[in-house]
Amino acid sequence: MSLKASIIIVTYGARSVVRDCLESVQLENDGSLEVIVIDNASPDGTAEMITKEFPTIHLVANSTNVGFSPANNQGMALATAPMIMLLNPDTVVRPGGISQWIEAHRSSGATISGPRLLNVDGSLQPSAWKVPGLWNSLLELFSLHRISGVGRYALQRFATDFEPGFVSGAAMLFHRKVFEGSGGLDPEMFWMEDVDLCVRVRGSGGRVQFLHGPEIVHLGGESSKKNMDRVISNQLISRIKFARKHSGVLSIGGLIVVIYVHVITRTLAFGLVGMFRNEPRSQAYRFTFNKLGRYLFKNDRSI
């Protein structure tokens, strides 16, 4: 049987959930799926567990945590199937979900597609958004982003297929030519890499599609819980990196000011809270303040 898709799963410190993910994928594998796992030097024995319990899976055990985007690019470079599917380690495929997704993708004429994501209780987890810009960050500075609904689609939209600004990188499907033509995910981004890829694909004439039929359960945030410093710093700095690729000078300048003020105010606020109780965000924002300075003034583009 010829291969239909290569499934790429990047994991770091998520042993308990990646086991469930791999079991759900294996149940769907009739021989037409190639499964590649890139382990970013997990300290919890993830690589050893995969070697023992899933010997047919192609495992790459990195000696260091190279980051989410570079590790996905590693996996995509090894893929041999015509289609590439990116899955987060904290996803669980519903029965029939993979074959349904591949068929819906082909029928829709999509270049990149994402499925319906569900929370553990079966409720909808929005997985497609409008492309964020300066306005999003400005509202977040004043903690108004959640009540404003900026960047989000109405939940009713997820009852049908539609073309969003971008789909979640937690579950993404595209043809090999997308990787070959684009070089994959931007290795300097973390938390905006899915937006960037979708924007680049649309810019070259491709279509980004949300598909409401196939369903995948997504826990969310399992690896990010292990390293809040890296998460918060990259969430904010990647916005600037994205703007520098896709926006004008005024938007870039405005975004830098907004992000800088955001980091300073949170550093001070959570630092004050941290004087009275354990507050992980206190350390995380101090780290982010220093990293943002290195990025802006020393061109430190590391993740």
Q: What is the model's pLDDT at position 149?
A: 77
Domains contained in the chain, number: 2
Mean pLDDT along residues 162-167: 98
Query: Is the predicted pLDDT of residue 224 greater than 60, yes or no?
Result: no
Whether residues 213 and 255 fall in one domain: no
Q: What is the pLDDT of residue 252?
A: 97
222, pLDDT greater than 70: no
Residue 150: what pLDDT?
82
Range with the poorest average pLDDT among 13-17, 92-96, 119-123, 173-177:
13-17
Q: Residue 27: pLDDT above 90? A: yes
**Is 165 inside a domain boundary?**
yes
pLDDT score of 226? 59
Residue 115 lies in a domain: yes
Does residue 145 sit within a domain? Answer: no
Q: What is the mean pLDDT of the chain?
A: 94
What distance in Å separates the CA atoms of residue 174 and residue 159, rounded to the nearest whole number? 22
Q: Do both 113 and 256 map to the same domain?
A: no
CATH of the domain at 198: 3.90.550.10
Domain stop point among 195, 218, 241: 218
Check whether residue 194 and residue 254 sit in a common domain: no
Tokens encoding 118: 């569900």
Structural domain containing residue 34: 5-135+153-218
Are the C-beta atoms of 58 and 37 separated by less than 8 Å? Answer: yes
Whether residue 57 is found in the same domain as residue 82: yes
Residue 63 has pLDDT above 70, yes or no: yes
158 is a domain residue: yes
- Please check whether residue 143 lies inside any domain of the structure: no
The answer to whether residues 125 and 259 belong to one domain is: no
Residues 43 and 159 in one domain: yes
- Whole-model pTM: value is 0.93
Give the end of a domain, one of 169, 185, 218: 218
Q: Are residues 259 and 174 in the same domain?
A: no
* Residue 113 confidence (pLDDT): 98
Query: Could you tell me what percent of the chain has a pLDDT over 90?
Result: 87
- Cα–Cα distances in Å, from 265 out to 254, 269, 275, 286? 17, 6, 16, 11
**Dihedral over Cα of 104, 108, 111, 114: its sign:** negative
Question: What is the share, in percent, of the chain residues with pLDDT greater than 70?
Answer: 98
Same domain? 54 vs 203: yes
Which of these, 57, 203, 210, lies nearest to 125 by C-alpha position? 210
Asked if the model's pLDDT at residue 225 lies above 70, the reply is no
**What pLDDT, in 10s, does the model give residues 232-270?**
999 999 999 999 999 999 999 999 999 999 999 999 999
Residues 188-214, mean pLDDT to the nearest whole number: 95
Provide the pLDDT for residue 144.
84
Is pLDDT above 90 for 145? no
On whether both 122 and 194 belong to a single domain, the answer is yes
